[in-house]
Amino acid sequence: MILEENIALKQYTTFGCNEMGRYFTNIKTSDALKESINWCTEKQIPYLVLGTGSNILFTKPFEGLIVKMGITGIQKTNETATEVFLSVGAGENWHHFVSYCVQKGWGGIENLSLIPGTVGASPIQNIGAYGVEVQETIESVTALDTQTNQWMILSNSQCDFGYRNSLFKKEKNRYIITTVQFILKKQPQLRTEYGSIKEILHEKNIKNPSLADLSNAIVQIRTSKLPDPTKLGNAGSFFKNPSLSKTNFEKLNINFPDMIAYPISDDTYKLAAGWLIENCGWKGVRKGNVGCYDKQSLVIVNYGQATGKEVYDFSEEIIQSVLIKFDVLLEREVNIL
């Protein structure tokens, strides 16, 4: 383990808010990870495992050890006539992994193109987009159980996946993921039913899209809606889409008949958080160094010099205004420290 001290964290998060980390190490092996955690245990200090920092907001200095996940690599472990089995390092860039699989003709994750972050973060959040969730392709996850200091291989069912949720999120900081095992299809059935995907494929006159066609269409959609974090600090969607019971949705829908929502079960509806925020007048609003992105109201942006506290306070204003107008409580998707 190579240890650094008093590191500016701005370069390690996509929000680019300049807080400090007391200790920092970039680990590239499982042994180095275990050594780092044992060091924190001995020193009795907290630790934080960091990937690309695309889903985190520091609002104050971090007084423990930042463990930068640097375990990479994509290894094919098995294949059949219809499937390919892969073991992928937790520090591998997610979009790089998607692009690699698309190029190889292995399907299942192409709808998750251009989602920021690392492979190791994907099961924690159970990332999803355009009708696909990563849980559909995960066979198992290898992780260090910090409670027992033992390595674990957790099957898909043991990961307890839910909407933007998992065992790793519920038992926060217990498991540190080092590799993820995927099962992808050699002859995938493409998911192109989302309207915006259909529109782009139609505009390009693509009637029988390939994996690359679908991935490129999704990249086009995402880049048109989301700001480049290297130019404008952000963490993508800042809020989750809230759920309501069918009864409460129907009551709310009487007053707001244009509200965007869709059923996810017989008695539950998912509301579009972006619609709620936009209809509270936040889209394009800027207060000092923080603002609501003018092309997608789910995104909060740092215009250059915002502190994490400023971003957090801005998000709190949005939450309160949505609660007052719609009686719906938004939940932050971004991790706050």
- The two tokens of residue 79 are 């294949």
64 by Cβ neighbours in 10 Å (0-12 / 13-18 / 19+) ranks as middle
Residue type, 190: L
Q: Dihedral (C-alpha) 98, 103, 109, 115: value to the nearest 10 degrees?
A: 30
Which residues sit opposite 5 in a β-bridge? 23
Q: How far apart are CA 39 and CA 53, in angstroms?
A: 23
Distance CA 60, CA 69 (A): 21
Has 237 been annotated as catalytic?
Answer: yes
Which of the following is catalytic: 22, 164, 174, 191?
164
* Residue closest to 97 by CA, chosen among 76, 115, 74, 116: 74
Contact 241, 259 (CB under 8 A): no
Q: Please report how many Cα atoms fall inside a 13 Å half-sphere around the Cα of residue 99, on the Cβ side.
A: 10
| Other beta carbons less than 10 A from residue 165's beta carbon | 15
- Output DSSP code: residue 242: P
The span from the CA of 177 to the CA of 120, in Å, is 6
Active-site residue flag, 333: yes
**Which CA distances in Å does 143 have to 47, 159, 198, 276?**
16, 11, 38, 38
Does residue 35 carry a catalytic annotation?
no
- Residue 56 half-sphere exposure toward CB, CA atoms < 13 A: 21
Residue in 139, 278, 310, 333 annotated catalytic: 333
Residue closest to 330 by CA, chosen among 276, 279, 287: 276
Q: Taken in order 172, 178, 183, 186, is the CA torsion positive or negative?
A: positive
Catalytic-role residue among 54, 215, 237, 315? 237
DSSP H helices, 79-148, are 94-104, 122-125
Indicate which residues carry an active-site annotation.
Answer: 164, 237, 333
